[in-house]
Amino acid sequence: MPPSFIGRARNSPEYLPQIAKVIADLRKMPEAELAFTTTENAKNTLELE
């Protein structure tokens, strides 16, 4: 389900910056911290480092 600000458009990676901002705001954390945390989680999950 796409976020409401996208409307009925197809969910797409181009919306990730907007989605990250919403999540960071909800978590009351800086966007940079959210980006770092999600990147580290992905690296650990996928065993990239």
pLDDT value at residue 10: 81
Bigger pLDDT: 7 or 14?
A: 14
Report pLDDT digits (tens) over 15-49. Answer: 999 999 999 999 999 999 999 999 999 999 999 87
The overall pTM is greater than 0.85 = no
CB 15 within 8 A of CB 6: yes
User: What is the full DSSP assignment across the chain?
Assistant: ---GGGTTSPP-GGGHHHHHHHHHHHHTS-HHHHHHHHHHHHHHHTT--
**pLDDT for res 7:** 82
